[in-house]
């Protein structure tokens, strides 16, 4: 039998199921099997699947104009950028097609900021162990994960990494070469680890003292996922100079953005950067709808409430399975159950029982459900994870 997957570059290893349709927090296969989606395409489908307002926006736009490139104005992009700047620290926005490209724009902007001030030697970007910033050459060098760097040539100069959570090491690493500190307020891939709020505040202060910029990667933890519009808003006096977003901002339509303050972003002028598709009318039609829904304080309050139900459920699992669960990690609706061994078998068993969950580093079973989940969905998910954990023997 020929394998219909044989021409797909096998950098992923998906299970056999293929989904045909989604509705809210549910996905359906062609033969009608139903799954509760608690991974949401890795924190992407923030409003679930086939949200009527998103479908309507995309269909309406699809009948009008798909693409003109940035040679021409895209009114919906101007509208979305204005909303982003109204609701965040930012004054300027560059739209991209992915998180990685938002990261590229952030790194380039930070370096150019110092270069434009005549400080050409200030190009070093400090990141943290366990970081994930995407898969471009720049992003894997920022992320510093040796598995992702191996085989792809010499590491790029200008990146330096310190241990997650080690504030003393960060302070030591900062110098007159430091262009920026680049951090995920909640690490996703690295094990769903939230940076303590007081550390974010301290990092902001350190950056100011050393004349370095602060860049947040909120690609995964942003856009309402932690119950605030952006995760760093939980911390006081911790606004960045630059922020990368993607994933949830498109709710499933691929786009991202790099947001900057006026002072920082001013260095990016005609010719500095570009993207053929970035801020494309289709993406912007969807992005405006997603922003309007998620930036609403009532919506965010409900995310915080249901996140409490998730947190309670996961804590109860930790109590029920003390020999198998190490603890609960993360923030809001980006949470992890840290297990005693590799979580893959539990993930697979959950899927067999109709629940989709993710995994992350540090033996973490990762939950990043659509932000529209209800308490009953949480109860169902926790029940399935409970059963899967009951059937699991951690391999040591």
Ligand X SMILES: *Cc1c(COP(=O)(O)O)cnc(C)c1O
Taking CB under 6 A as the binding criterion, the range among 15-23, 26-34, 131-139, 263-271 that sits at the site for ligand X is 131-139
Residue from 22, 41, 48, 134 in contact with ligand X (CB under 6 A): 134
Contact 335, 318 (CB under 8 A): no
- With respect to ligand X, which residue has the nearer C-beta, 103 or 258? 103
Does residue 123 interact with ligand X by CB under 6 A? no
Does residue 98 interact with ligand X by CB under 6 A? yes
Does residue 233 interact with ligand X by CB under 6 A? no
Closest separation in Å from C-beta 197 to ligand X = 18
Residue from 214, 246, 325, 378 in contact with ligand X (CB under 6 A): 246
- With respect to ligand X, which residue has the nearer C-beta, 113 or 132? 132
Does residue 24 interact with ligand X by CB under 6 A? no
Locate 228 and state its tokens: 């605030």
Neighbours of 137 (CB within 10 A): 14
Instruction: Round to whole Å and give the CA distance between 312 and 37.
Output: 19
Does residue 99 interact with ligand X by CB under 6 A? yes
Does residue 104 interact with ligand X by CB under 6 A? no
Closest separation in Å from C-beta 182 to ligand X = 10
Q: Which of 37, 38, 128, 217 is catalytic?
A: 217
Does residue 329 interact with ligand X by CB under 6 A? no
Nearest to 346 by CA among 360, 335, 332: 360
Residue from 161, 220, 264, 347 in contact with ligand X (CB under 6 A): 220
Residue from 184, 199, 241, 377 in contact with ligand X (CB under 6 A): 184
- With respect to ligand X, which residue has the nearer C-beta, 48 or 188? 188
Query: What is the chain's length?
Result: 396
Taking CB under 6 A as the binding criterion, the range among 30-38, 198-206, 212-220, 337-345 that sits at the site for ligand X is 212-220
60 CB-near residues (< 8 Å, 6+ apart): 285
In degrees, to the nearest 5, what angle opens at C-alpha 157 toward C-alphas 155 and 160?
Answer: 90
Residue from 24, 48, 144, 188 in contact with ligand X (CB under 6 A): 188
Q: Which of 112, 247, 324, 331 is catalytic?
A: 247
Taking CB under 6 A as the binding criterion, the range among 5-13, 79-87, 98-106, 122-130 that sits at the site for ligand X is 98-106
- With respect to ligand X, which residue has the nearer C-beta, 49 or 247? 247
Residue from 61, 100, 338, 347 in contact with ligand X (CB under 6 A): 100
Locate 379 and state its tokens: 């109860």
Does residue 217 interact with ligand X by CB under 6 A? yes
Nearest to 259 by CA among 78, 46, 95, 115: 95
Taking CB under 6 A as the binding criterion, the range among 51-59, 74-82, 213-221, 304-312 that sits at the site for ligand X is 213-221
- With respect to ligand X, which residue has the nearer C-beta, 188 or 287? 188
Axis crossing angle, helix 52-62 with helix 281-294, rounded to the nearest 10? 160
- To the query of whether residue 344 is one of the catalytic residues in this protein, the response is no
Residue from 132, 159, 230, 255 in contact with ligand X (CB under 6 A): 132
- To the query of whether residue 94 is one of the catalytic residues in this protein, the response is no
- To the query of whether residue 352 is one of the catalytic residues in this protein, the response is no
Instruction: Round to whole Å and give the CA distance between 351 and 263.
Output: 48
12 CB-near residues (< 8 Å, 6+ apart): none
Locate 305 and state its tokens: 């409430």
Residue from 51, 133, 193, 232 in contact with ligand X (CB under 6 A): 133
Does residue 219 interact with ligand X by CB under 6 A? yes
Q: Which of 95, 113, 128, 132 is catalytic?
A: 132
Binding site for ligand X (CB under 6 A): 98-100, 103, 132-134, 184, 188, 217, 219-220, 246-247
Residue positions annotated with a catalytic role: 132, 217, 247
């Amino acid at each position: 039998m020929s394998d219909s997957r044989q021409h797909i570059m096998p950098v992923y290893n998906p299970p056999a199921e293929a989904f045909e349709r989604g509705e809210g927090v549910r996905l359906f296969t062609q033969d009608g099997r139903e799954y509760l989606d608690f991974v949401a395409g890795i924190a992407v489908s923030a409003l679930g699947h086939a949200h009527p307002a998103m479908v309507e926006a995309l269909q309406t736009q699809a009948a009008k104009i798909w693409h003109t490139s940035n040679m021409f104005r895209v009114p919906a992009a101007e509208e979305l950028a204005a909303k982003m700047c109204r609701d965040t620290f930012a004054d300027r926005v560059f739209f991209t097609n992915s998180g990685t490209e938002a990261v590229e724009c952030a790194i380039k902007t930070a370096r150019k900021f110092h270069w434009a001030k005549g400080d050409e030697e200030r190009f070093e970007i400090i990141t943290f162990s366990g970081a994930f910033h995407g898969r471009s050459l720049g992003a894997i060098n920022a992320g510093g994960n040796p598995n992702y760097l191996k085989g792809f040539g010499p590491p790029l100069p200008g990146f330096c990494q310190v241990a997650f959570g080690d504030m003393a090491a960060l302070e030591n690493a900062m110098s007159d070469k430091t262009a920026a500190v680049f951090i995920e307020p909640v690490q996703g891939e690295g094990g769903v680890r939230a940076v303590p709020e007081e550390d974010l505040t301290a990092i902001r202060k350190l950056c100011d003292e050393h004349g370095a910029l602060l860049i947040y990667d909120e690609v995964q933890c942003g856009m309402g996922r932690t119950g605030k519009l952006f995760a760093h808003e939980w911390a006081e006096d911790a606004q960045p100079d630059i922020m990368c977003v993607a994933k949830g901002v498109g709710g499933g339509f691929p786009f991202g953005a790099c947001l900057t303050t006026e002072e920082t972003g001013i260095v990016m002028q005609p010719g500095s950067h570009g993207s053929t598709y970035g801020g494309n009318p289709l993406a912007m039609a969807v992005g405006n709808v997603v922003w309007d829904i998620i930036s609403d304080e009532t919506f965010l309050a409900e995310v915080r409430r249901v996140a409490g139900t998730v947190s309670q459920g996961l804590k109860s699992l930790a109590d029920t399975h003390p020999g198998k669960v190490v603890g609960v990690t993360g923030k809001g609706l980006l949470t992890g159950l840290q297990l005693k061994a590799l979580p893959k078998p539990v993930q697979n068993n959950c899927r067999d029982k109709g629940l989709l969950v993710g995994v992350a580093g540090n033996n973490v079973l990762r939950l990043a459900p659509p932000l529209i989940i209800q308490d009953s969905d949480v109860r169902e998910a926790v029940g399935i994870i409970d059963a899967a954990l009951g059937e699991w023997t951690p391999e040591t």
